[in-house]
């Protein structure tokens, strides 16, 4: 039974409409900034993180924090408490080293998003400068306080154990 459909940031909206049509009883949650984008036309959102509710209805099982401070994009990070699993979309990317070949691979390496030491893309990091890092630090500190065992990322290799150390290293730029 699907109860909630969530977009973690304003660029990960693909298939929201199709999923909401497939599961019409599910509540659809938007991240900050998505409702204002043309790509969101035709998608019915029940709520926006940080705007419509003090806590989402799933807060008894899943914690969430909005990573703020960027003038480009905000992202919602999640913790599934029972499994101690953090779910992050774009804030941490860990693309497989062996898959990053050629010119694209070189660019991805320069961007700092390849392999076990992957992190946040440099252009997104820059968008927190000069005044947004304080807000981002607050979210990072909450994420680190979760003491995660596992990490699920949208782009790259997930972490099965010891995720807190990986998250701390990947977000050390904040």
In whole angstroms, give the CA distance from residue 36 to residue 18. 19
- Residue pointed to by tokens 């000069």: 130
- Rounded to 5°, the CA angle 110-77-119 comes to 15
**pLDDT single digits (tens) 34-81:** 998 988 888 999 999 989 887 899 999 999 999 999 999 999 999 999
Tokens of 86: 């953090």
pLDDT confidence tier of residue 130, bands split at 50, 70 and 90:
confident
Nearest Cα neighbor of 88 from 152, 6, 156 is: 152
Q: Which of 9-23, 76-90, 97-111, 123-137 has the lowest mean pLDDT?
A: 97-111
Decide if 151 contacts 88 (C-beta within 8 A). Answer: yes
Tokens of 53: 């509710």
Cβ atoms within 10 Å of 104's Cβ, excluding its own: 11
């Amino acid at each position: 039974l699907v109860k909630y459909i969530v977009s973690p940031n304003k660029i990960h909206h693909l298939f929201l409409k199709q999923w909401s049509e497939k599961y019409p009883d599910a509540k659809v949650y938007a991240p900050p900034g998505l409702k204002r984008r043309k790509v969101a036309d035709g998608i019915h959102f029940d709520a926006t993180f940080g705007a419509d509710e003090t806590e989402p209805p799933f807060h008894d099982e899943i914690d969430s924090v909005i990573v703020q401070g960027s003038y480009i994009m905000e992202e919602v990070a999640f913790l599934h408490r029972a499994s101690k699993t953090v779910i992050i979309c774009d804030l941490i990317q860990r693309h497989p080293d062996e898959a990053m070949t050629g010119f694209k691979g070189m660019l991805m390496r320069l961007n700092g998003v390849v392999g076990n030491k992957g992190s946040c893309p440099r252009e997104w990091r820059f968008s927190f400068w000069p005044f947004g890092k304080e807000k981002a630090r607050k979210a990072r500190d909450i994420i680190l306080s979760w003491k995660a065992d596992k990490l699920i990322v949208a782009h790259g290799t997930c972490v099965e154990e010891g995720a807190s150390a990986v998250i701390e290293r990947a977000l050390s730029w904040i």
